[in-house]
Structures are given as C-alpha cells and as structure tokens.
Copies of this chain bind each other. A is one copy, B any other.
C-alpha cells in the first residue's frame, strides 16, 4: 500500500484525502528534486492525465499551509520550488548547471540570531555558486 502513509499525513491534518493529493505527495516523497510546479504538473500528468494545473497549485498551496511540505524561491527565477523534506537543511543552487543540492546544516540557525522580540517560525537558506561537477568540467 504505497499511499497509506500519505493518507495518514492528510488525515492527521484533517484534510480531505483525494487522488490528486496522494499522487503529488507520493511524487514529492520519492523525488527529492525540489521541483517547480510546472515540473510537478508535467510529471503528474503522465500518471494522472486529467489533472489540472490549477489542482497542482491548489494542492501545493494547501500542503504548505498545513505545514506538510516546505517551499523556496531562488533569485534567478520567479518559480516556487517545493520540498517534501522539512528537516533543517540548506539549498545550494549551481549557477552553471542549475542543479539544486541539499546541504546539511548541522545546526539550527535560529539558535544563533537575536530575536529582538520577533517570533521566528521558519527560514530558508539559499547558497549560490558552482558545483563540484561544473568546476571539474570547466
């Protein structure tokens, strides 16, 4: 039963269990590539041809609102990228090949900044540079 895990995830948040949500959750869980919604849509369509792009937007929006997945944007593009992995880690975008790498943080950044009375909930760290592979093939 590959979907029971995701059914529980949705149920725990009192969200309705729909085929579209299950399929998208499964894809994100099994493909940790930080896809854009367009990429997500293109893939999901191969398994679920009738899905609407709007559904992808709606599903992702509700998953984010319920704290099930996280999201980020890089400076080089307006597109939202999503990530099934909510654990504390950074993202490294290679400016040459465009690949995104997960970078282990090893510490909680919020432990190192003064709050000044503000309430901090979450954070994203985006690192820009050139990846190992692109350095080699230069």
**Among candidates B72, B94, B104, B122, residue contacting A127 with C-beta atoms closer than 8 Å:** B122
Interface size class of A (residues with CB under 8 A): 35 or more
Most buried by B among A80, A105, A123, A132: A123
A residues at B contact (CB < 8 Å): 71-75, 78-80, 90, 92, 94-95, 101, 103-107, 109-110, 112-114, 116-132, 135
Are A126 and B123 in contact, with the CB atoms below 8 A? yes
Q: Which residues does chain B contribute within 8 Å of A131, judged by CB atoms? A: 118-119
Are B117 and A112 in contact, with the CB atoms below 8 A? no
Query: Which residue on B lies nearest to A136, using beta carbons?
Result: B117
Query: Which residue on B lies nearest to A71, using beta carbons?
Result: B75
Report the separation of the CA atoms of residues A77 and B71 in the bound assembly, to the nearest whole angstrom: 12
Are B113 and A103 in contact, with the CB atoms below 8 A? yes
Q: Which residues does chain B contribute within 8 Å of A79, judged by CB atoms? A: 78
Are B123 and A128 in contact, with the CB atoms below 8 A? yes
Q: Which residues does chain B contribute within 8 Å of A90, judged by CB atoms? A: 113, 123
Query: Which residue on B lies nearest to A130, using beta carbons?
Result: B119
Query: Which residue on B lies nearest to A73, using beta carbons?
Result: B73
Report the separation of the CA atoms of residues A110 and B95 in the bound assembly, to the nearest whole angstrom: 17
Q: Which residues does chain B contribute within 8 Å of A94, judged by CB atoms? A: 118
Q: Across chains A and B, which 3 residue pairs bring their CB atoms closest together, nearest first? A: A117-B132, A78-B78, A73-B73
